[in-house]
Amino acid sequence: MKKNQIIILALSIATLLILAGIVVLFLSENWLQKPVIPKETIPAGAEENFYLYLELPSVSGKFLEFNRVKSEITILYFNTETMKTVRQVFEMDEETIFSKAAFDLYQPDLFLGRELQKVRQETPVTVFYLSPEEEEVVPLARLIRVEASF
């Protein structure tokens, strides 16, 4: 009877160690990714880039979420080609700039990327992006215009 208890105890400890190892591996992958956003200052030349980015293709929809770890923003919009509502993810990098939508659509009201966390879900947003060369690649956002005051 004692041998059975020792074997069960050893198997339980081994199982716990394996599970702990899996959890550590899973968490370490998420912790190793460093977010590109937020920056402490607005990048130099952002105002000039704002006008260039207005010429890129854009999608207007509702803000869903901001994933700081992956530096991605998700929006929900209506695709007029397929006549369906689409959930689209856009990747951000150090060249992505953020602007509040002002009364004059062609005037930049730039803000820091970290303030994107203050934006509520379903807030109207327009994302100007670089079109990916491959279909399965996440588009890269260059300008994110948010219709919010914060």
Q: Could you list the pLDDT tens digit for every one of the 150 residues in the chain? A: 688 888 888 889 999 999 888 877 777 655 555 554 445 667 777 888 888 898 999 999 999 998 888 889 999 999 888 999 999 999 998 888 888 876 666 677 788 777 888 888 889 999 999 988 887 788 999 988 998 765
Quote the tokens at residue 72: 């991605």
CA distances 29 to 9, 24, 66, 106, 111, Å, are 31, 9, 19, 40, 30
Q: Give alpha helix (H) positions in the chain.
A: 2-32, 46-53
Burial of 146 (0-12, 13-18, 19+ CB in 10 A): buried
Query: Tokens 């856009």, residue?
Result: 90
